[in-house]
Structure 1
Amino acid sequence: MSGELSPIDKAKFVAAKQAAEFVESGMRVGLGTGSTAAWLVRCLGEKVREDGLRFKGVPTSTRTAELARDVGLEVISLDEAKWLDMTIDGADEFDEDLNLIKGGGGALLQEKIVATASDQMIVIADAAKEVQALGAFPLPLEIIPFGWQTTQALIEEVLVSMDVMGRQTTLRMNGARPYITDEANHILDLHLSRIGNPRQLSMVLNQIPGVVENGLFIDICDKLVVGHSDGRVEVRDINEGTISESQLAFVEDDNLFSDI
């Protein structure tokens, strides 16, 4: 029941519920990965069951694909879709220019590919994810397993000349073993504290041999949907330069909460 949700989960839910309204029948939609994106998938499943919504979803991870099928969504691959009307995904951090850090869920590579193959990217997040400067959340890098320690050393060497506050890097683990992405790669988390020039850092990191992609999403997000624990939802459209706000009510018997 919604009354059992934490304030953060309530904020994620209302953001997801608002974003689900942008999806129309006949669309091809990228489905993000992570806890906020999971709320979106559940909301879209409800619209399919109750409102007759029909669209094709392109998941950004195997776990999103499994959840999407479980709630009744039609799932296709990006190769089948070719191009998407929109992608809706969460973020680990965002700044006032709608630049993002993503990859906390370990799917940054597929998320970036899908987002850039879309007419627009809509990001859903709770208000706590907003920061003045990116970097408090560790920046994920997807790297190939071969020679990963050499790649790590090269990254740390490059960070010395970058506008960042910290330079510690750690290999993401899954228990006693390295975390493995859907593309069979590793993830390095960069603990930078503050990133002074995200655009420059993104370009430099992607030039390092062994780095597949980084979790900085620069100039990719078109619209941001921010949820608050009291049900308020703010929609920021960077292309239109507009900000709108609405209020969503919680429904105590909502089917979305049956598995919480």
Structure 2
Amino acid sequence: MASELSPIDRAKFLAAKQATEYVETGMKVGLGTGSTAAWLVQCLGEMVREEGLKIKGVPTSTRTAQLARKVGIEVITLDEAKWLDVTIDGTDEYDSDLTLIKGGGGAHLQEKVVATASDRMIVIADASKKVDTLGAFPLPVEVIPFGAKITKKLIEETLINMDVLGREVTQRMNGDVPFVSDEGNFIFDLHLKRIGNPQQLSLALNQIPGLVENGLFIDICDVVIVGHADGRVDVRDIDKDSDEVVRFDLRDDDNIFADLDD
């Protein structure tokens, strides 16, 4: 029931629930990674089981693939799909231009490849992800292990000439060992505090040898769906230049959350 979820989970769920309106039978759908995207996968799985929805999902990580299969979604590779109708994913930050920072889960490389191979990218989020200026959330970059220390030094030197407030670069760890992405690469987190020119920074970072991809998503996102704990959902469509407010009736006896934790 709605009352059993925390306010933040309720907001994430409502954003995910609204995003299912963009999915129709026969579609090939990119499935994002992270806590909000996991709600979306479970919502779609319920539609597959209960409503006969027929879709093919292209996951952006091994953990999303495992969840998708568990809830009954047919999983295929991006090469098998060739092109996607829509990708639905979460975000760590977004601004008024719908520029994103992604990669908190270490999957931004696959997420960006999948999103750019889609007709549309839908982002689902709670209200805390909206920022005036990007950069409070550390910007992830994926780096090949060979020469990683040199790549880190080149990143630090590049940041000197960028419009950022902080320049600390740290390697993401998994306990006592380096975090390794699904592609077998390391993740460095750039603690920039404020990013004044995301386009310039993205271009500069991706010119560094050994750096595979950064977590800035520029001109990729088409729609942002923001859930709120009170049942309100804000939908901003940058293509249509429109804003819409949807309201869910969250009565205590409403079982709209049924089966999501099974």
Query: Which 5+ residue runs of structure 1 have no aligned equivalent?
Result: none
CA-based RMSD of the aligned residues comes to 1.0
How high is the TM-score relative to the length of structure 2?
A: 0.97
Counterpart residue number, 2:133? 133
Q: What's the offset of the Cα at 1:48?
A: 0.8
What SS is found at the alignment partner of 1:187? strand
Residues 66-92 of structure 1, C-alpha deviations (whole Å, 9 max, x = no match): 000000001000000000001000000
Q: Contact conserved, 2:42 with 2:260, CA < 8 A, in 1?
A: no
Question: Distance between the aligned counterparts of 2:222 and 2:21, measured in 1?
Answer: 16
Question: Distance between the aligned counterparts of 2:47 and 2:96, measured in 1?
Answer: 31
Aligned length: 259
Residues 100-149 of structure 1, C-alpha deviations (whole Å, 9 max, x = no match): 00000110000000000000100000011000000000000000011111
Question: Distance between the aligned counterparts of 1:25 and 1:50, measured in 2?
Answer: 13
Query: Which 5+ residue runs of structure 2 have no aligned equivalent?
Result: none
Q: Contact conserved, 2:86 with 2:119, CA < 8 A, in 1?
A: yes
Counterpart residue number, 1:222? 222
Q: What's the offset of the Cα at 1:253?
A: 6.5
The answer to whether 1:198 aligns with 2:201 is no
Matched residues, percent identical? 69
How high is the TM-score relative to the length of structure 1?
A: 0.98
Task: Please show how residues 133-152 of structure 1 align to structure 2 within 5 Å.
Answer: 133-152=133-152
What SS is found at the alignment partner of 1:161? coil
What SS is found at the alignment partner of 2:136? coil
The answer to whether 1:88 aligns with 2:88 is yes
Q: What's the offset of the Cα at 1:8?
A: 1.0
Q: What's the offset of the Cα at 1:3?
A: 2.0
Q: What's the offset of the Cα at 1:252?
A: 3.7
Question: Distance between the aligned counterparts of 1:253 and 1:234, measured in 2?
Answer: 19
Residue 143 of structure 1 aligns to which amino acid in structure 2?
V
Change in 2 beyond 3 A, CA 1:25/1:127: same
The answer to whether 1:13 aligns with 2:25 is no
Residue 109 of structure 2 aligns to which amino acid in structure 1?
L
Residues 180-236 of structure 1, C-alpha deviations (whole Å, 9 max, x = no match): 000000000000000000010000000001100000000000011111111100110
